[in-house]
Amino acid sequence: MNIMDNLMNVFIQTFGGTGDEIRSFFTPGRINIIGEHIDYNGGYVLPCSLKMGTHALIRKRGDDTARFASTNFDLQAEIPLDDVAFDPAHDWANYPKGIVRLMQDDGHTIGGFDILFSGDIPNAAGLSSSASIELVTATALNDVFSLGYEPIELVKLSQRAENQFCGVNCGIMDQFAVGMGKDGHAIYLHCDTLDYKHVPLNLGGYTIVVMNTNKRRQLNESKYNERRSECEQALAFLLRAKSASTSCQFDTKLTDLTPEAFAELSHLIPDETLRRRARHVIQENERVKQAVAALESGDMETLGELLNQSHASLRDDYEVTGLELDTLVSEAQKNPVCIGARMTGAGFGGCAIALMKKDAVDGFAEGVIAGYEKVVGYAPSLY
């Protein structure tokens, strides 16, 4: 029995009825190759979508009730569509509920429906399971109820749902990578203008291994929003200096500054912690540009070194790694078949990636798992 036949059976067991008029949709997860904590600072990122993702089966109802279920979680939710509100007890179901609410706020009428989700993205691993469930919900509702959104509008709506309904002050990278990905390519995205291009992910004799710490995290319970606030504070110091002096020249974002310009202006930020946060953002933004150039020229050694630099910056200046991610990356970097590794996603747990020789994955995995387990006490998962 294939996955869709199995999900159809689960849908019918969960919601009743027959298989008539049930429709299916899919959206992927994502990794970010480089450009971490840059999207909400308006700079460049380089994510790519994954084969892993989220399936959704949906069927209209004859009333004004929405029912949500998942093969990944025991919790189910049922809500009246005239009162869609955030409810902590609904846990994961708040992500699709947020899509419903934002579509209603846009003036659309959505009728009753049953929807079943099933994903193979590890939960809370930093591979954008939330963005994937948001986009698959948005895509399904847009199609089933003929709402007329364009793909880029669904991307923007999904980000707003996570910001305004779920309370995670994320940038647009995750939703954009999920909604606009292309097979065999990364996305070179400017998060302020949304200008982008697909960059062929030609890694030659190398491959990317995704390494899951298996440490759960919840972004709205982490220091993610705190880091965004710290960037805003650092920027405010620079903007005040800009208004008072013609020698302080940049536009409106930290990512408008080059590393060289920041070296001249960093003294204007009086707090050392805020200075380090800004330094990471500005240098990481530059690393994304260099990584695209390395990909396009086939220079994997440079790409690997940029990954290493990124992790060091996220560890030391941005402080979003921790024991598990640092151990995982260190175990990868000490293996000679790996030319670069770093955490990916928001941090505080979740996943890292390693750029390594394609023909040496098995031995690499064994060494990383053993080294990590010795330090942390349990094993990571590698994909």
| pLDDT for res 238 | 92
Same domain, 168 and 253: no
Q: What tens digit of pLDDT does each residue of 299-347 get?
A: 999 999 999 999 999 999 999 999 999 999 999 999 999 999 999 988 9
Point out the domain boundary residue: 274, 300, 319: 319
Token couple for 300: 């994997």
Same domain, 128 and 250: no
Same domain, 36 and 137: yes
| pLDDT for res 74 | 94
| pLDDT for res 250 | 64
Same domain, 270 and 314: yes
The backbone torsions φ and ψ at residue 198, rounded to the nearest 5 degrees and listed phi first, read -85, 125
Same domain, 291 and 313: yes
What is the average per-residue pLDDT within 355-363? 95
Q: What tens digit of pLDDT does each residue of 39-51 get?
A: 999 999 999 999 9
Q: How far apart are CA 188 and CA 194, in angstroms?
A: 10
Residue 195 is a catalytic residue: no
Q: What tens digit of pLDDT does each residue of 89-130 get?
A: 999 999 999 999 999 999 999 999 999 999 998 876 667 789
| pLDDT for res 218 | 57
Contact between 327 and 291 under an 8 Å Cβ cutoff? The reply is: no
Same domain, 290 and 184: no
Query: Would you place residue 244 in the very low, low, confident or very high pLDDT band (cuts 50, 70, 90)?
Result: low
Same domain, 44 and 165: yes
- Which of 17-21, 214-218, 264-268, 365-369 bottoms out in mean pLDDT, i.e. has the lowest? 214-218
Q: What tens digit of pLDDT does each residue of 133-167 get?
A: 999 999 999 999 999 999 999 999 999 999 999 98
Full-model pTM:
0.91
Same domain, 85 and 139: yes
Residue in 39, 87, 105, 174 annotated catalytic:
174
For residue 144, give its domain range: 3-200
| pLDDT for res 248 | 57
| pLDDT for res 221 | 52
Same domain, 294 and 328: no
Helix (H) or strand (E) holding 301: helix 300-316
Burial of 281 (0-12, 13-18, 19+ CB in 10 A): buried
Q: How far apart are CA 298 and CA 316, in angstroms?
A: 29
Same domain, 94 and 115: yes
C-alpha torsion 352→354→358→360, nearest 10: -100
Query: Would you place residue 241 in the very low, low, confident or very high pLDDT band (cuts 50, 70, 90)?
Result: confident
Answer yes or no: is pLDDT of 28 > 60. yes
Same domain, 18 and 141: yes
CATH of the domain at 253: 3.30.70.890
Same domain, 362 and 376: yes
What is the average per-residue pLDDT within 172-181? 95
Point out the domain boundary residue: 319, 336, 354: 319
Q: What integer best gives the mean pLDDT of the chain? A: 93
CATH of the domain at 159: 3.30.230.10
What is the SS3 assignment for 264? Answer: helix
Contact between 102 and 161 under an 8 Å Cβ cutoff? The reply is: yes
Structural domains counted in the chain: 3
CATH of the domain at 208: 3.30.70.3170
- The angle, 0 to 180 degrees and rounded to 10, between the axes of the packed helices 300-316 and 272-297 is 170
Contact between 144 and 113 under an 8 Å Cβ cutoff? The reply is: yes
What is the average per-residue pLDDT within 200-218? 90
Query: Would you place residue 348 in the very low, low, confident or very high pLDDT band (cuts 50, 70, 90)?
Result: confident
| pLDDT for res 222 | 62
